[in-house]
Each structure stands twice: as structure tokens, then as C-alpha cells.
Amino acid sequence: MSNPNLVSTEWLAERLGDPTVIPVDGSWYLPAANRDGPSEFLDARIPGAVFFDINAVADTSTDLPHMLPAPDVFAAAVGELGIGDGATIVAYDGAGLFAAARVWWTFKAFGVKDVYVLDGGLPKWKAEGRPLESGASTRAPARFTPRFDPSVAKSGDQVAEGVDAGLFQVVDARPAPRFRGEAPEPRPGLALGHIPGSLNVPFDQVVKDGRLAEEAELRAAFEAAGVDVNGPIVTTCGSGVSAAILALALEGVGAKAEGIYDGSWAEWGAGGRPVETGPAKTAQ
């Protein structure tokens, strides 16, 4: 099966200039990448695109990075970008597939039904010699009506209760050395290890050369980690970004994430909650 949340570069290229189809650049990088999403957007972007800053359109009352904002805050921010009701959103990023998945998930959380991820992102678009533009976006403001589904963003307490009661599987997208507690976290002051009972599918096992892997590879990655894709799943990671990649990958095998732990390890690893180290105990 093909992932219903992906659109091709050909599909988007045919719709450039359609005011209802809005490319949304959500590029965000870990500090080690030494890249700046907003400045790269100004240098070269898909024509008609707007920039969605996951750190700015966020809950600024918490020290946790890029948490979901209140519905009215989200509506005001995206309306100012020129994204209104009825728009078709095509999220992309400069890595191929990284933060675009978080943008996709965020718009879905606020009730947008027609939201997709550009397969291959900006690298594929550039490699094919497709048109680019630069400078500030010029879309006129629009009215956006949020329809927030709070069930898709899980809190630390909900995750703890769900794990204790066996209500769902927790699947962590962080690299295996971080999951096992053998490598430091990019954010200082966090405990090392993982949520007790969680499973590990590093996001680079479901992303190949900046694109979501094929269905067979996705299934193999989840199966190798002991994940039952037919059961309820909550995804997590370092700060809620690559967890969205796993949510996208699950839909590529006909499954669906019940939610994302929005605070992820940035919250769990700082909050004095129980931690396990080593490989996942229930992994095959």
C-alpha cells in the first residue's frame, strides 16, 4: 500500500499557483546539524511556501521545546501566515523527512484533514531542478478555525498510567544508543535511558535517503523491535519531532498512532520519573 499522507514532487509541481494548495516549510534541526531553517527558507524555497517555525508556534509557558500551543494561539499564528480554512497543506523540510512530519501531525491535531508530507522534501525538489524562490513570504493573512483533538497529544502522566495498565505500547524513535542509555542526550541535564517497558524503532530505520521507507522495510523495522502494529501505540522521542515520523510510518503500514507523547524525553528524562537502561526487555 502507498502512504495516503505523502504527495509526490510531481503532484505539487502541477499545483503551484493554486491558492488553496500551500507548501509549508517546517525545517528544524538539532544543534549538531549546524543548520538554520528560517534563513535557508529565505534563501531558497518552493514557490508560494510559508515557513512554520515549530519553536515559535508553540506553548511558550513551558521550558519544554516546541510543545503544542493553545488552539487560539495556533489559529492566530497560521492565519497570519496566510493559511485559512479549506487549505491543502503540503509540509516539507530541508532534510528530506524530519521536522515535516511534526508539522503534518500538528496540523492534523488542529483539525486539518487535507495535510500531507512532500515525499523527498526540498532535497528531491532541488535535485529534479524544480523552481525555487527566495525572500519573505507574501501570502495575505487568512482565517483559520482550529478543531483541536486533545487526545492525540499525551501527557507524561497519561503515558505513565498507560504503561502501568498495559493500555498501549510506547515506541521510542531515538537512536538506539540513547534509548539504551549508552550515549548522552543532546539536551543537558536529562537522565539516560528510556521509559520503562518502551520499545525502540530509531527513526533512521524508517527513513531512507530523506524519504519514508517502503512498506516492507517499515513492517520489518516495527517487527524487529517487537511492536504489534495492530495494537494501540503511542510514539515518543527526544522532543516530539521524530516521534511524528514514526506516526507517519505507522500509517504507511495501514496502522495508526493513538497519540504522541508531546513532552517526550525532554520532559520524562528531567522529571524524576522511572527510567530503564539497556535494550528493550520485550524486544524480539
Which of the residues are catalytic? 237
Residue written as grid cell 493554486: 18
Q: Locate 251 and state its grid cell.
A: 500509517
Beta strands in 93-210 (DSSP E): 115-118, 153-154, 169-172, 199-200, 207-208
Decide if 210 contacts 96 (C-beta within 8 A).
yes
3-state secondary structure 144-176: CCCCCCHHHEECHHHHHHHHHHCCCEEEECCCH
Is residue 156 classed exposed, middle or buried when 0-12, 13-18 and 19+ CB atoms within 10 A define those classes? Answer: middle
Q: Locate 17 and state its grid cell.
A: 499557483
- Residue 235: beta bridge partners? 171, 260
Determine the Cα–Cα distance for residues 184 and 173; give it in Å rounded to an integer.
15
Decide if 203 contacts 264 (C-beta within 8 A).
no
